[in-house]
Structure 1
């Protein structure tokens, strides 16, 4: 049995508050016997504007949020996977949306930068939400890395809408795909579950999606529905979600934890029973 703990939080602009949420979940994960904790996209903070997001961003060596989680990981020998913001190199008016793996010794051992950014502009009659206003896109699919939960491939939120990077990670040997997110409520209701299950089925990988949930500020509400999906596309466990934005309270939701047994043998069974022989001579770019 290899237990994964998957956290659901509601980040604000306060890194102190967000760190406390994540550390509390880490303690619960340790008590449950989990071998790793997976946290959502932008766990360090969610700002109310692009300018505030850039202002809050700190290098991992100085970030009290990251340093706090490194200390927690080392004290409890608990690897922690978490979505954060990092400055660009050289510093600019944009930042990086990244996913880091903090190993059991407290070291940042792996890093992935979000490839696909959520750019929406439906003016004059609809909203405008352009992630690229403040965020620099990544430019590579980072190979999977070895853990006690198998080989993990990292992707983030809007990457979910594109099968190509998931298929690439599968070709590189991934057993588990990560999609930490802060999905909007309307798109979450329409596409969240079906896209996650699709990525699991087509890659025959476990899918772990830690999600932000609830009201972050006066402008942002995240869908939630933290979920784990088997390599056969079945839901192994899930947490609460936002059903109606109008019903959400102004204060943030309490953090929640989902613990799931990542059965590595199920990967071999599914891939043996439904062999997928890809015609890479026809589409080698995948």
Structure 2
């Protein structure tokens, strides 16, 4: 089955970002894809909290989500919206992924579990938890490409999440991201390939890329990795649309050759001395 990935340089205007995603849905359909994957924060990239707060609205009022649902139905394409910035009923924000089917219905939601609170030195400091609330549950959803396990960006560093997703039947793992350049250069591909290999799953990672209006820089290099760890698609740094084939025979072959899912054991208590 053919899928498409959108690599974008999102900005501070949700309307402009929404147009990019809607155009990608049309192009994905024209290219024969049954499903499109978009990056983290597909509606808004903005480190200015006050300015961003004026654009972040409740799910049922979000114009990007509404436009994407309409476009998915119009073009008969499933869409994994990597994430949107959404205002919760309690006033805090959620970093929330959506899976939308080819009728425009929302099939699944996932709020990012692990929030990016790091100090990388040189003044490069991030505190996602100062604005966003962490999610409370994982999610796997049936799609035309297979059973899809949901995650977002920094989740990539926590393999227990992906073990839980594959144990729940995931065949593909979505890792939409807005990785920083330093961490991307050091860890992006090796972590994505590791998650694919250790879970015998496809990994689909649509990413933000380039220099953004709020001053941040993201790494790009959206990837699709097969269950044996082979990179099927590497989009480098330019914004645009990429395509890959999801061949379920690769899934079965990898799981037969090294049946890691069958061999997993509950880890006993660690004896410390």
TM-score in terms of structure 1 length: 0.90
Alpha-carbon deviations, 1:210-262, whole Å to 9, x = none?
A: 00001112421111001100000010011122xxxxxxxxxxx6x31111000
1:225 and 1:238 in contact (8 A); partners too: yes
Q: Which residue matches 1:85? A: 85
Asked whether the equivalents of residues 3 and 35 of structure 1 are also in contact (C-alpha less than 8 Å), the reply is yes
Root-mean-square deviation (Å): 1.4
* Structure 2: 5+ residue stretches without partners: none
1:164 partner SS: helix
Establish whether residue 111 from structure 1 lines up as the match of residue 97 from structure 2: no
Contact kept, 8 Å, 1:53 with 1:134, in 2: the verdict is no
Q: Does 1:282 align with 2:268?
A: yes
The equivalent of 1:18 in structure 2 is 17
Q: 1:215 and 1:99 mapped to 2: Cα distance?
A: 23
Question: Residue 263 of structure 1: which of 215, 230, 247 is its match?
Answer: 247
Whole-angstrom CA distance in 2 between matches of 1:234 and 1:197: 8
Counterpart in 1 of 2:153?
157
2:143 aligns to what?
147
| Counterparts of 1:62 and 1:139, CA distance in 2 | 23
Deviations 1:188-230 (A, max 9, x none): 0000000000000000000000000011124211110011000
Provide the aligned length of Structure 1 versus Structure 2: 266
CA contact (8 A) 2:58 2:89 kept: no
- Give the gaps of 5 or more residues in structure 1: 242-252
Partner of 1:55: 54
SS in 1 for 2:232: strand
1:99 and 1:120 mapped to 2: Cα distance? 22
Matches of 1:214 and 1:127, distance apart in 2: 17
1:173 is displaced (CA, Å) by: 0.4
Where 1:20 maps in the other structure, the secondary structure is: helix
Runs of 4+ in 1 over 6 A off after TM superposition: none
Deviation at 1:44, TM superposition (A): 0.4
Query: What residue number does 1:245 align with?
Result: none
Correspondence for 1:127: 124
1:166 equivalent in alignment to 2:162: yes
Where does 1:111-260 land on structure 2 (aligned, <5 Å)? 111-121=109-119, 125-142=122-139, 144-241=140-237, 255-260=239-244
Distance apart, 1:19 and its partner CA: 1.1
Aligned to 2:73: 74
Q: Is the 1:99–1:112 contact (alpha carbons within 8 Å) kept by the matching residues of 2? A: yes
Q: Which residue is equivalent to 1:247?
A: none
For the Cα contact (< 8 Å) 2:2–2:243, is it kept in 1?
yes
Q: Is the 8 A contact 1:40 1:182 kept in 2?
A: yes
| Contact 2:8/2:208, CA 8 A, preserved across alignment | yes
- Return the alpha-carbon distance in structure 2 between the equivalents of residues 20 and 89 of structure 1: 27
Tell me, in whole angstroms, the C-alpha distance in 1 between the residues paired with 2:120 and 2:174.
Answer: 29
What is the CA–CA distance in structure 1 between the aligned matches of 2:71 and 2:97, rounded to whole Å? 17
| 3-state SS in 1 of match to 2:89 | coil
8 Å CA contact 1:48, 1:217 repeated in 2? no
Any conservation in 2 of the 1:54–1:134 contact (CA below 8 Å)?
no
